[in-house]
Amino acid sequence: MPVFYGEHIESRLMLGTAQYPSPAILAEAFRQSGAGIATVSVRREAGQDTAGQDFWALVRELDVVLLPNTAHCHSVREAVTTAQMARELFDTNWIKLEVIGHADTLQPDPFGLVEAAAQLVEDGFDVFPYCTEDLVLCERLVEVGCRVLMPWGAPIGTGLGLNNPYGLRSLRAHFPEIPLVVDAGLGLPSQAAHAMELGYDAVLLNTAVAKAGDPVAMAKGFARAVEAGALAAEADPMDPRDMAAPSTPVFGKAFL
């Protein structure tokens, strides 16, 4: 099971908490998924707002590790300020860092991301950066103190799966000791299994479960797919080959 900043997590599946049809469905989806971490946006908690306090009570009842995020932040200053608010609100140094650079694709701003990560690490945060699979960017994030990397599979909410398996595989090979999480773009359990087969430590998703016709059933599907993919990676799978190879031995075959 994954270890993030020294903390052992009991599940390789991480779920977001937005867009569910109802609080009851959100809670049941989490229970059935066995997810070990819930991401939550600070924007859901607004001072004395009653709805925000009700949501916070629900999240606490999930009995999972909380990972606040800086969702929808588009500048370094906004992301750092939001992270500081999250630490006070949720009493944790963990922060999923988002610094969005492109409004249509929600692609991270690589320059702002590194700058914000450096400031937050200096301030004592354990940073989970939402990034692309760019190797140079990931090296810079590790250099400034990030001990987890969270490259996207595809743009947030698209359900396209793993757009660049080569890049994700290269990251895994380049950072064998760094926990890696595929974050965003997954739409089907098979795509989550693929990420785990590449050797990733966990997957994080939200829309694929929350917006499914049956979020609870989809949460179960992702839980089983993640487990299957992890088992496959641990089993040292066969390498693909161009030529067919019979699985039944030809030795002893009768030739007429």
Residues that constitute the known binding site: 157, 184-185, 206-207
Between CA 186 and CA 195 the distance in angstroms is 9
Between CA 168 and CA 185 the distance in angstroms is 13
Between CA 13 and CA 89 the distance in angstroms is 24
3-class DSSP assignment, residue 245: coil
| Residues 164/177, Cβ–Cβ less than 8 Å | no
| Residues 99/108, Cβ–Cβ less than 8 Å | yes
Residues making up the annotated binding site for 1-deoxy-D-xylulose 5-phosphate are 157, 184-185, 206-207
Q: Give bridge partners of residue 204 from the DSSP assignment.
A: 14, 183
The amino acid at 124: G
Which amino acids are annotated catalytic? 96
Between CA 181 and CA 153 the distance in angstroms is 10
Between CA 193 and CA 232 the distance in angstroms is 9
| Residues 13/34, Cβ–Cβ less than 8 Å | yes
| Residues 89/68, Cβ–Cβ less than 8 Å | yes
